[in-house]
Amino acid sequence: MKKILILLVMAMASLQLMADDYTYMTFKNSDGSIASITSMGLTITFEDGKMIAVNGDETLTLDIGELNLMYFSATKAVNGRGDVNNDGIVNITDVMLTVNYVIGKTPSVFLQHNADLNSDGNINITDVMGIINIILGAY
């Protein structure tokens, strides 16, 4: 475990050189959910099986065991919520894909976990409205 952490720290150090071009550090979990934090001035520590990323007022805590991938991105992921095609952003494409899903079509990439905004196990018009609200900044 210690070796893995050292490798991660080394990877982070080399990635830091590229950070100027990328605004956010994005983390992808094994369940497909993603989260972003501003990369400039970011401090990442590992403690009790958790990865804690701190940047000013922002704090992101993730289970290391759940963590699949971390990468720089130009856009901020909203905890994966609403990002049904998993491209790191919530936009009109996600609304359209969710509408298609609701009316019975099956989009090629569709993360139900990210679509079910109110976590009631169903994906319907309420969730479509929720994604629109995320785009409008209401969340």
Q: Which of residues 82-101 bind Ca ion (CB under 5 A)?
A: 83, 85, 87, 94
- Using the contact rule CB under 5 A, the part of the chain among 27-35, 44-52, 69-77, 114-122 near Ca ion is 114-122
Strands 24-29 and 43-47: unpaired
- Distance (Å, whole) CA 60 – CA 33: 13
Closer Cβ to Ca ion, 26 or 85, answer by number = 85
- Distance (Å, whole) CA 133 – CA 29: 24
Shortest distance, CB of residue 139 to Ca ion, whole angstroms? 14
Looking at the DSSP bridge assignments, the partners of residue 69 are 28
**DSSP 8-class letter at 82:** T
Shortest distance, CB of residue 5 to Ca ion, whole angstroms? 32
Shortest distance, CB of residue 118 to Ca ion, whole angstroms? 4
Position 39 contacts Ca ion (CB under 5 A): no
Shortest distance, CB of residue 105 to Ca ion, whole angstroms? 17
123 contacts 116 by C-beta, under 8 angstroms: yes
- Distance (Å, whole) CA 70 – CA 133: 27
- Distance (Å, whole) CA 18 – CA 65: 26
Selected from 11, 61, 120, 125, the binder of Ca ion by CB under 5 A is: 120
Selected from 116, 128, 131, 134, the binder of Ca ion by CB under 5 A is: 116
Task: Write out the residues near Ca ion by the rule CB under 5 A.
Answer: 83, 85, 87, 94, 116, 118, 120, 122, 127
